[in-house]
Amino acid sequence: MSMLNRVTAFCDNKSDCRRVEILGYFGEEFSAAQCRKTCDNCNAGLIFEQREFSEYAIAAIRVVQAQRRITAVQRADIPMGRKYPRYEIRRSDDWYGMAKNLKKHKLVRVLG
């Protein structure tokens, strides 16, 4: 994963302890309990529901397999039904638009 993608994922992450993420990047072990709600994510106290996203991940894999060359953005755009050259969409017809009900940042997080 490119450094830019890692930074973007870090910024979009609203569930994991920031201190765990930062210290883990540098190879240090740190538990969220040690944070004592001092980072923005732990302090927010948000409750997240667990959802199944396997079908979207599988679709993204199929899109990558069907395309000659594809960028990370296109990997998310095709299942979301975003603009893409028609001749390329035909290769991914089965998956084109199947994730249009998701917000892009959620799909990008699933696809990693």
Query: What string of DSSP letters covers the chain?
Result: --HHHHHHHHHH--SS-HHHHHHHHTT----HHHHTT-SHHHHHT--------HHHHHHHHHHHHHSSS--HHHHHHHHHT----HHHHGGGTTTTTTTTTS-HHHHHHHH-
pLDDT by residue for the chain (112 residues), tens digit each?
577 877 888 888 888 999 999 999 999 999 999 999 999 999 998 988 888 878 878 877 777 777 767 777 777 787 787 776 655 555 556 777 778 887 777 777 777 6
pLDDT of residue 36: 95
Cβ–Cβ < 8 Å for 16, 35:
no
What pLDDT sits at residue 26?
Answer: 94
pLDDT score at 20: 96
Tokens of 43: 């302090």
Q: Map out the domains of the chain as residue ranges.
A: 3-44, 54-111
Structure-token pair, residue 72: 């990370």
